[in-house]
Structure 1
Amino acid sequence: MAARTGETTHAATTDRIYAAVALVAAVLALVESTTPPWRVAAVAVALVPWALVVARREPPAWLFLVLAVLPVVPVVIVGDVGVVLFMTTAALSRFASRSVDLRVLAAVVLAVAAVPFVPALVRDHAPNGAGYFAFGDVFGALVGLLVWRTDRLAARLREADADLAAARAREERQRIARDVHDLVAHSLTVVVLHVGGARRVLRADPAAAEAALADAERVCRESLDGIRGVVGLLRDPDARQGVSLDLAELVGTYRAAGVAVASRIEGDAAALPLATRVVLYRVVQEALANAARHAPPGGAVTVAVRVAAEAAHVRVENPHGERRPSAGGFGLAGLREQVAAVGGDLTGGPDAGSWVLDCRLPVVRHAAASA
């Protein structure tokens, strides 16, 4: 709607400029010599289509051209060529700015360019300056064609801008969907583990069951806060709340929930660019959530993270040769999109009885791109 409004406003401005040229030519034609009443009437009739155009009551293109050009012909025949011919030049140029049929336009240009030579039909020779005015008509048609082409290019640019805005909106929705998926999948997995552990020891060790339920409640509250923060981005994109990206804390959460996790973290993940660090955290988070869901009882999960100057490497293994894809398409597929966004690559699949997820995130290249 905004693009259409901008296009209409631009066309109205162009019409006013053309109408102003025609009006100035009409005034000069009436004051340059004696003006009998019929000449005033002819010039006034030639101004009628311009008045309709400015009033946004535009007649059909052919009718506009006839009303703007034909009344000028008797003025030229009787009074010789002069400034009044600029009225026909303005009409021709405007017609060309809205014409898409080049054959029709070529015929109209020839007809209007012949108007300065009409007095030669009743005299022995062509009037002085006829060739100059004919050239002016051709030049005006070329200007009209340039205006037409500019309008088309501007319309395409507006359409492209609208498409880019829609693509940005889709990308933002996908990012929010991934954030919600990652947050909910991680939190619910930990809660299920805590609740399951509490159920198993409820009678034998009520204190341990109560502690597990307390941890589950804490994780639920943190998940709700995180979801509120993500949903809040829909109202205020600048109100992003701080989120912990501590890998050791993430691993500790799963250990507290009863998952056997052996971790080895080399290097300083906090020194990574923020975008790379967020993706690194998401990869480990998703891998642990999947391992907790699919790993057999007693199976140990191995998390190895190595941060170097050139790249960050993540390798997560759990003893499970099969893996069901995540529902909704935001699991491994979503991770690949996030990893690819920072120039990395990610692979996942069975390897010697284990499910292995391997990821590499370049550091130097992404940092340069951020700069």
Structure 2
Amino acid sequence: MRDPRRMSAPADRAASADRVDRGGRAAVDTATTDRIYAGVAAIAAALALVESPRPPWAIALILLALAPWVAVVLRREPPAWLFVALAVLPVVPVVLAADVGVVVFMTTAAASRFASRTDDLRLVVGVTVAVALIPFLPGLVVGRQPNGGGYFAFGDVFGVLVGVLLRRTNRLAARLREADADLAAARVRDERQRIARDVHDLVAHSLTVVVLHVGGARRVLRIDPAAAESALADAERVCRESLDGIRGVVGLLSEQDPRPGVSLDLGELVDAYRAAGVAVALHVDGDPAALPLAARVVLFRVVQEALANAARYAPPGSTVEVAVAAGAEEASARVANPRGPARAPSAGGFGLAGLREQVAAVGGALTSGPAGERWVVEGRLPLRAAVAGA
């Protein structure tokens, strides 16, 4: 019995989580930007207080303008109107004294923070124009224009643009996190589908063999008790192996490597059905063991699923023909059995549907259906695509 823990791998949740984490760190969080803005305002206030003598009332206004930044750093968001009112206080001494200096960057910091938190383009344009006019207000109000107004205006506008870029960066990072979350969810769905296919392959194959053994034991129980006992022993063995396999499926999420240790021996698979009383003729052209691993796994699944269906639906005593070809450019597996009076296996069943997905995943194609008096399941794989999927 193959270890199903090796049949399929869980999604690379660690890699996905790493991408999500990187996406989360791509955005500068608001707490960090608030501390940066508050630092800029504090530095501007300190430089303003030492660059030239100021009257007490101007010093008080500058210090009062720092109050909302203290609240911001403490994660206590002040009302918007109060923040705006206090942010414009440093402009008053600039206008009255006609002395443009670094103090205007206190207002610039507030404007940049505002721009980093709104998507309203009209408000951003209005704020940008307002801060750009600050260095020119003395000339408009008191009729005296200080030197360097243009440089400070450029700095004000640049500060607001930094806020706009931060807003765009945060929005893009949020979209990246959403995309990563969608990708992680898709990987989980794919993982569940793979596990479901593995469980189906394991249980369907094992129970088919068990049913054949038990049925054979029932038919010969009275005339050949020894043969019946042997068949029941085989059924018990398959049941135990299946139970171990199902327990292994439970450990899928802790496994990292889906491939090493997989038994892909078609001879063993065919022998199991022969021992259960199914006549199987196996023809192998080429060396399947030399095929790319992805092709070997998928071809094995094709034969496994088709044999399980043939054991259920083929007329008693009929021969199931299995043909596997390993060519230079293409590999194929074909399983054909006579059609019995019972209904033929549905091409839309979960087993065939999952098998069709597996074959398509390596660039191949799966066909199943009646061909004259026979039911044929055939998978064909181009080896270049299979190499890419290995």
TM-score, structure 1 as length reference: 0.92
Distance 1:273 1:323 in 2: 32
Secondary structure of 1:35 counterpart: coil
Alignment partners' CA distance in 2, 1:64 and 1:8: 25
Secondary structure (helix, strand or coil) at the match of 1:359 reads: strand
Q: Does the 8 Å CA contact 2:108/2:156 hold for their aligned counterparts?
A: yes
Query: Which secondary structure state, in structure 2, belongs to the residue aligned with residue 187 of structure 1?
Result: helix
Contact 1:245 1:281 in 2 (8 A): yes
What residue is the counterpart of 1:197 in the other structure?
A: 216
Residue matched to 1:221: 240
Instruction: Report the Cα offset of residue 61 of structure 1.
Output: 4.5
Contact kept? 2:112, 2:162, Cα under 8 Å:
yes
Q: Counterpart of 1:358?
A: 378
Matched to 2:243, the amino acid is L
Alignment of 1:210-359 (within 5 A): 210-237=229-256, 242-320=261-339, 322-325=343-346, 330-359=350-379
Deviates more, 1:346-355 or 1:113-122: 113-122
- Larger relative contact order, structure 1 or 2 (CA cutoff 8 Å, min sep 6): 2
Which of residues 83, 90, 94 is equivalent to 1:72?
Answer: 90
Q: Secondary structure at the match of 1:357?
A: strand
Indicate if the aligned counterparts of 2:325 and 2:331 stay in contact, CA closer than 8 A. Answer: yes
Deviation at 1:138, TM superposition (A): 1.7
Computed over aligned residues only, the root mean square deviation of the Cα atoms, in angstroms, reads: 2.3
Distance (Å, rounded) in 1 between the aligned partners of 2:29 and 2:286: 59
For structure 1, the residue ranges without an aligned partner over 5 or more in a row are none
Q: Which residue, 143, 147, 151 being the options, matches 2:166?
A: 147
Q: In 2, distance between residues paired with 1:77 and 1:124?
A: 10
The CA deviation at 1:323 is: 2.2
Q: Point out the more displaced range, 262-271 or 180-189.
A: 262-271
User: What TM-score comes out, normalization by structure 2 length?
Assistant: 0.88
Q: Distance in 1 between matches of 2:246 and 2:172?
A: 44
CA drift of 1:36 comes to: 2.5
2:62 is aligned, of 34, 37, 43, to 43
Asked whether the equivalents of residues 330 and 381 of structure 2 are also in contact (C-alpha less than 8 Å), the reply is: yes
Q: Residue by residue, what CA displacement relative to the aligned partner does 1:41-66 show, whole Å, maximum 9, x if unpaired?
A: 11112112211221111235454333
Q: Which amino acid aligns with 1:77?
A: V
Residues 47-87 of structure 1 deviation map (CA, whole Å, 9 limit, x = unaligned): 1221122111123545433322x211212123311110111
Q: Give the SS at the match of 2:355.
A: helix
- Give the CA deviation at 1:121: 3.4
Match of 1:53 among 69, 72, 80: 72
Q: 343-352 or 39-48, which moves further after superposition?
A: 39-48
Aligned pairs, how many?
Answer: 368
> Does the C-alpha gap of structure 1 residues 273 and 5 become closer, same or farther in structure 2, counting only changes over 3 Å?
closer
Q: Tell me which amino acid in the other structure corresponds to 2:370.
A: P
CA contact 1:28–1:84 (8 Å) conserved in 2: yes
Identity across matched positions, percent: 69
CA contact (8 A) 1:92 1:141 kept: yes
Q: Does 1:135 align with 2:154?
A: yes
CA shift digits 1:86-126 (9 cap, x unpaired): 11121111111111000111122222222222212343342
Rounded to whole Å, the distance in 2 between the matches of 1:212 and 1:230 is: 27
C-alpha distance in structure 2 between counterparts of 1:121 and 1:107, whole Å: 19
> How far apart are residue 241 of structure 1 and its match?
7.8
- Which stretch shows the higher mean deviation, 103-112 or 27-36? 103-112
Structure 1 residues 245 and 113, CA, compared in 2 at 3 Å: closer, same or farther? same
